[in-house]
Amino acid sequence: MFLMLVASAYMQSISAFVAQNNGAGLPERSRQALFYGIRTAFVAGAFCVRIPVVYLMSHIPGVGLFQIGLGTPISSAVQILLCIAAYRWYQNRAKRSAQ
């Protein structure tokens, strides 16, 4: 629970930072903040995605070390897809607001 509070507070602060910089006409600074957020998502993803996936994989009946080890690349793929989706959403939103 405490881990989610940190991530939630961080996301809210990045949201405010990006909104203020967009309002000030500084889209490059907003983009940099987004990339910092993505980098942080990879780190926090280890605790919010990777560890829970490995834990869940370990509770499958008859599972071996190989299957437990698959939790790491699976969670990495999920994190990458989430970050790409966030980036594309941000880019599409920026294009729409520029028109």
**pLDDT value at residue 46:** 66
> Which domain does 48 fall in, by range?
2-98
0.85 exceeded by pTM: no
3-61: per-residue pLDDT in tens?
456 666 777 777 888 888 888 888 888 888 877 777 777 676 667 777 777 788 778 88
Give Cα separations from 38 to 15, 70, 79, 84 (angstroms): 13, 23, 9, 9
For 90, counting Cβ atoms within 10 Å of its Cβ (0-12 exposed, 13-18 middle, 19+ buried), the class is: middle
The total of structural domains in the chain comes to 1
45: nearest Cα among 20, 13, 78, 15 = 78
